[in-house]
């Protein structure tokens, strides 16, 4: 159980410092992952950037993920996602892509994420449930031709870790509980993170840099 995202990020940072990562760039999936990732970027003295992805929820249960889309249009769908009404799906994909685009403009002032070419891309989130948004983030980062891709999260479902491990060089999850139900269940405090908080964290990271 983590106290909050700051605590989770600090614990992840302590673990990552043992990995001797070459030229790391910390990428994170907003909003919640930004809080964890800031702590890692600060401790590793690494730049912080964003990979903006959006979950596609089932039409009958929006909380149940059937796919994910990135701002650049990269899409990942489950079998259920491919089976739903395709007209609805295309409208939903476009709506979520536009929301990802809006967030990029809000969070990064319209600038593209930092390039990971030839570097170690460390993709951070506050946890992995289905892993769909992370998978889309991995694909988007891979387009930058990084030397290595590392996924780092505080908590994850075991089957998701196994499924994603073939898509990255390393996946680090501090906790993989066998009775995984939801990400928030493993935090004492799991408050929603606002757009304003994300912008403030990114500005702080760019201004102060990391610390030893």
**Three-state helix/strand/coil letters over the chain:** CECCHHHHHHHHHHHHCCCCCCCEEEEECCCCHHHHHHHHHHHHCCCEEECCEEEEEECCEEEEEEEEEECCCCEEECHHHHHCCHHHHHHHHHHHHHHHHHHHHHHHCCCCCCCCCCCEEEEECCCECCCHHHHHHHHHHHCCCCCEEEEEEEEECHHHHHHHHHHCCEEEEEECCCCCCCCHHHECCCCCCCHHHHHHHHHHHHHHCCCC
The reported pLDDT for the residue numbered 10 is 97
The reported pLDDT for the residue numbered 210 is 44
Mean pLDDT score across all residues of the chain: 91
Q: Please give the domain boundaries of the chain with CATH numbers for all domains.
A: 5-54+108-207 (3.40.50.2020)
pLDDT band at 208, cuts 50/70/90? low
Q: Which position has the higher pLDDT, 11 or 64? A: 11
Of 29-38, 72-81, 107-116, the least confident: 107-116
Total-model pTM? 0.90
The reported pLDDT for the residue numbered 102 is 87
pLDDT band at 196, cuts 50/70/90? very high
pLDDT in tens, 77-112: 999 999 999 999 999 999 999 888 888 888 887 677
């Amino acid at each position: 159980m983590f106290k909050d995202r700051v605590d989770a990020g600090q614990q992840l940072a302590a673990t990552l410092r043992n990995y001797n990562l070459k030229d790391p760039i910390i990428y994170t999936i907003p909003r919640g992952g930004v809080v964890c990732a800031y702590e890692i970027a600060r401790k590793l003295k690494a730049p912080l950037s964003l990979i903006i992805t959006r979950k596609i929820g089932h039409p009958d249960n929006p909380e149940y993920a059937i796919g994910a889309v990135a701002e650049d249009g990269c899409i990942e769908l489950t079998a259920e996602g491919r089976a739903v009404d395709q007209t609805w799906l295309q409208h939903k994909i476009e709506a979520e892509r536009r929301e990802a685009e809006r967030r990029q403009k809000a969070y990064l002032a319209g600038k593209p994420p930092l390039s990971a070419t030839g570097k170690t891309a460390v993709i951070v989130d506050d946890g992995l449930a289905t892993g769909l948004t992370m998978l889309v983030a991995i694909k988007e980062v891979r387009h930058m031709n990084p030397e290595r891709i590392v996924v780092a999260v505080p908590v994850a479902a075991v089957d998701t870790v196994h499924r994603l491990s073939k898509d990255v060089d390393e996946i680090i999850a501090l906790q993989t509980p066998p009775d995984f139900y939801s990400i928030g269940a493993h935090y004492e405090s799991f408050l929603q993170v606002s757009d304003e908080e994300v912008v403030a964290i990114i500005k702080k990271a760019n201004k102060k840099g990391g610390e030893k």
